Structure 1
């Protein structure tokens, strides 16, 4: 299925039903009084975060979504029925913003989360509502209120703890297939990955994190070159970036120049994204003779002037992958703990002010 991370929809909540003007008409009961009921409420439009969805492709071809209108009120004190609600299922991580203003209105961040994105109109009052001691036969009624109507832009940003980035053919798909349950397409040519792939990495019982493999970046990506620029937004919600570098490019390119080019594209696209924790991972060590590895790695670090965490792996043979996975989990887990709110505990000591009478 083609990956679609952006769509536009028009939604319309149901209008409320009109109130009714009616009077009791029964034999031998003159001046029976008003009995016109209220109109029914219009249907609401809800959005729900469905963890089983990973694209917005359904909304690329189905743009209009209308909830039901409330029924009009009737005589004999009968209120109109409510209009039917509609529920739009969307992937977790979907952002809903107003098309005209660009304002972000809603975000679906929690699986199963349901929010009302358009409120149905209230029903109008029937004439029984206007009955009083001085107005025994009211003929007033009110129309139903219109439902909310919106034009929305849907934008999907995948929710992953770790994002993989690098040049095309750096080995990102091979790595995610080696450490997670994802099975992306892998080939020996660049741009094999055409859409993000998510994989769950299980470290132990109830210990896991989510990793995202994005299409490869090239120079000029921030300005729209290549495929990866379309998906840079997905890195904005990650806790950690893994920058994969091919230590032995088949075309003889300089790994340092490639790594600096990717870092430059991140900075051009989003300063906040550039400042995220980013670890360098030197991949394809199996392509380098064992006696040359240490010298080549030292040369890379020296010319890159890199002082952060550095990992040396071979995604194909899985050499060094276990150490990398453990380090990632420790980092992600520490951030999760730091993000949890601190609950205040009320501690009272015997004999203190709280115990004084």
Structure 2
């Protein structure tokens, strides 16, 4: 969610290019659920269990230590080693962890947490591949769909100032091109997503979209995104057999981590990166609560299908089991976070 002219924006392009050079752009064969399925099988092979449809209402904290969690049904689940919270930082601090366990300065910092842009995604079933005018686009698993730098800059500025662009930039995936098992031969399974303002102040297009995201607005934004594809692939819309529109409220309903349709777990701007992510002085998975670790995209390095946030939290929890780390380093880190987040000092969890 950085403007192309913003400091540091080129670093993300460089990083993506280097990752592409070293690893390519792999996708799970058969669909994204194959990735989560593999993770579930690995966990269960190590003796782990998963409970679905079981909301957690509270992280149980006593004397500054996380002892386990309590479900919305009132069941208590004890944590033998640690609690890893794969939830947005504002949901963890002040909701799952009661405010009484956090210092005032920390709570104030949480209230200043900034979300990234909202997202609209459209999925299509096509009866033929997309008829791109650019030959190289036919072979690409992912297409960044924008006319030129000027249009990209205009789009980014408009979204950042609360205006819904008339010509939205889109990230488009050609999934059958990347993985032939996704749909029958000769067809294409595709999607596109674009970012929109969290709060729409003005619609620069003709549809008067306000951000209510009712049926009319969902249809309007889908047609606007399809018109963008049609610009670069004439005849595209004639190939649509079915589609699904995922607006910000739908995305959040499907996954409560996608607050307002934000898919990065918080802005990627410099003021909320590295040591400043999710809050100043909290650039580690450790939290002010002992045995509690932030494992979501709100933690460094942020959103993406990389697993780094959870892996960092898991490694930190395992390191804390050592005598030296657990007894000396971990409490020191907790105290440092409290001090950095509480300018007044002296507050305790």
Q: Same fold (TM over 0.5)?
A: no
Structure number with the higher strand fraction is: 1
Structure number with the higher helix fraction is: 2
Larger radius of gyration: 1
Q: TM-score, normalising length from structure 1?
A: 0.21
Q: TM-score, normalising length from structure 2?
A: 0.21
Whose RCO is larger (CA < 8 A, sep 6+)? 2
